Structure 1
């Protein structure tokens, strides 16, 4: 009878573990952060993907890809999507701040 639990999988990768001191956290991808902000705002307004895509004049599949962080949208497309939600680009940027600024730097003045 072999004991597989005593012999770890040689191909298994170790978890991320603690970050060495001074090493920065991995930056989030802009397309994922902005897509999540758009989706969150759309859902908070109780609007469907179809309603917003029509108002923004963006195809529904493309807007869906943007919201899921799979497409890197141009500033024109982001402005149209934000505008359809009643937001400016500045408003959209403000919605993304929480995910872009590391927790340990929030509220701290720049040195």
Structure 2
């Protein structure tokens, strides 16, 4: 028998780089910060009303800390938000902006 000749491989395209999905804590932090700024309130003001330190609230807003449900409740309460409002905003922020292709 003769030598085997390899068949050419089909051109393989690397998938387009996708931006990684943000962490939940990052989106929650952005939403809390946006609401605080909409209300023209300081970190110290909201932290004081929530009963937490300014440093901790700052870290939550920057997405560096994963707040417990108690802390989250204190902060959204200090901002006059209901939990359903906050989670709705977070859900909308996480929703894909373009078409979504689902594989079967």
TM-score normalised by the chain length of structure 2:
0.75
Q: Which residue does the alignment assign to 2:58?
A: 64
1:14 match: none
Structure 1 gap ranges (5+): 1-16, 107-111
Residue 74 of structure 2 is aligned to residue 93 of structure 1: no
> Are 2:49 and 1:52 aligned?
no
Counterpart selection for 1:77 from 68, 71, 74: 71
C-alpha separation between the residues in 1 aligned to 2:70 and 2:89? 18
The question of 1:34 aligning with 2:31 is answered no
User: In terms of Rg, which structure is larger?
Assistant: 2
Structure 2: distance between partners of 1:76 and 1:88? 13
- Aligned residues between the structures: 87
Q: TM-score, normalised by structure 1?
A: 0.70
Per the TM alignment, residue 25 of structure 1 is displaced from its structure 2 partner at its CA by 5.8
Specify every segment of 5 or more residues in structure 2 that has no aligned partner in the other structure, as ranges: 1-13
